[in-house]
């Protein structure tokens, strides 16, 4: 019993796709690899002119929105910098220019926060190696390389958070002032 017309069409289409990949895509990738051309993606997290207030006001969770406004004022008071949107969801303060050994470079906020669904991401760009004692006093949190994750402000010691933001901000401001 022979294969149906549609089954034969699928088999032929699959073979055509494999041939296309083998003879068209593979040489392109080999040429790209051999050309020593660096393929750099553009940094999507850039300062923009979007409204911080509109972003915060768009938050549905009232408690999170109130906490976001408290954080915005806290960061403004510590940094003496205006709140600026970075990308779609980061409220940043200050900026610095970075350049990696790979040649990749760009700009990023010195500090800031992002009200994510599960928690707030607070950007402590200097990291946490020198902040272990403060972390012990902070209250419930998690950390990443340069991110502090907290659920709500009522759970943490705001004076400790202020000190962590202040020390990281000053560290970056001094380090990148040349």
pLDDT by residue for the chain (178 residues), tens digit each? Answer: 566 666 665 666 565 555 545 555 555 555 555 555 555 566 778 889 999 999 999 999 999 999 999 999 999 999 999 999 999 999 999 998 888 888 888 888 999 999 999 999 999 998 898 899 999 999 999 999 999 999 999 999 999 999 999 999 998 888 876 5
Cα(111)–Cα(163) distance, integer angstroms: 13
- Per the CB < 8 A criterion, the answer to whether 144 and 118 are in contact is no
What pLDDT, on the 0 to 100 scale, is given for residue 5?
A: 64
Q: Report whether 64 contacts 115 (CB < 8 A).
A: yes
Predicted local distance difference test score (pLDDT) of residue 141: 96
At 102 the pLDDT is: 83
Neighbours of 178 (CB within 10 A): 4
What is the secondary structure of the chain as a DSSP string? -PPPHHHHHHHHHHHHHHHHIIIIIHHHHHHHHHTT----PPPS--B----HHHHHHT-S-HHHHHHHHHHHHHHHHHH----EEETTTEEEES-EEEE-TTS-EEEE-SEEEEE-SSSEEEEETT-STT-HHHHHHH-S-EE-SSEEEES-GGGS-HHHHHHHHHHHHHHHHHHT--
Partners of 122 in the β-ladder: 113, 148
In CATH, which of 3.30.1440.10, 3.30.460.80, 3.40.50.620, 3.90.1150.200 is domain 52-175?
3.90.1150.200
pLDDT for the residue numbered 98: 83
Report yes or no: 124 and 164 within 8 Å, Cβ to Cβ: yes
**pLDDT score of 29:** 54
pLDDT for position 106 = 86
pLDDT of residue 122: 97
pLDDT for the residue numbered 172: 84
**Residue 153 near residue 71 (C-beta atoms within 8 A):** yes
Instruction: State pTM to two decimals.
Output: 0.74
């Amino acid at each position: 019993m022979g294969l149906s017309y549609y089954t034969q069409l699928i088999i032929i289409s699959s073979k055509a796709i494999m041939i296309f990949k083998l003879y068209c895509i593979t040489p392109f990738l080999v040429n790209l690899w051999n050309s020593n051309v660096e393929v750099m993606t553009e940094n999507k997290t850039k300062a923009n002119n979007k409204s911080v207030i509109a972003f915060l006001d768009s938050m549905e969770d009232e408690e999170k929105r109130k906490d976001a406004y408290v954080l915005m004022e806290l960061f403004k008071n510590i940094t003496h910098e205006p709140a600026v949107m970075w990308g779609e969801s980061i409220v940043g303060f200050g900026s610095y220019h970075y350049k990696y050994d790979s040649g990749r470079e760009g700009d990023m906020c010195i500090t800031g926060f992002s009200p994510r669904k599960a928690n707030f991401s607070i950007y402590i760009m200097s990291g946490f190696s020198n902040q272990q004692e403060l972390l012990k006093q902070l209250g419930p949190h998690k950390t990443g390389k340069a991110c502090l994750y907290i659920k709500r402000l009522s759970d943490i010691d705001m004076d400790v958070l202020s000190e962590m933001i202040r020390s990281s901000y000053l560290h970056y401001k001094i380090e990148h002032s040349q």
